[in-house]
């Protein structure tokens, strides 16, 4: 038996879910921008810095990992506080759909 894909939610349904849970459904614009930058990178590597050279907010990275859109790729022994991440298949799908 195959898997059943969820039906797309209407705009009204998304708004209702956002009101009930008091948070947006799906990635924020900042999260989506970060995830999209991994689409053209080998292995889906996500950047550590934004276009202005500023470090990507650790909370943004943590939230994307928690949502299953990104995953830790490897530990950087020279900079242990840097989270080197890559897109998951779920994150890749979301980012590609937003392009």
Q: Domains plus CATH for the chain?
A: 28-98 (1.10.10)
- pLDDT tens digits for 29-64? 999 999 999 999 999 999 999 999 999 999 999 999
Distance CA 69, CA 17 (A): 20
- Model pTM score: 0.73
Whether the CA torsion 19, 22, 24, 30 is positive or negative: it is: positive
| Whether 68 contacts 91, CB under 8 Å | yes
pLDDT > 50? residue 1 = no
Distance CA 55, CA 84 (A): 12
Residues 20, 26, 27: CA angle, nearest 5 degrees:
125
């Amino acid at each position: 038996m195959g898997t059943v894909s969820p039906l797309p939610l209407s705009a009204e349904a998304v708004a209702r879910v956002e009101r009930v849970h008091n948070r947006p459904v799906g990635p924020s614009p900042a999260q989506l921008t970060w995830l999209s930058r991994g689409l053209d990178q080998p292995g889906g590597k996500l950047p550590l810095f934004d276009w202005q050279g500023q470090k990507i907010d650790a909370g943004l990275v943590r939230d994307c990992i928690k949502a299953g859109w990104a995953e830790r790729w490897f530990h950087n022994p020279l900079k242990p506080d840097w989270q080197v991440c890559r897109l998951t298949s779920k994150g890749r799908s979301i980012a590609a759909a937003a392009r």
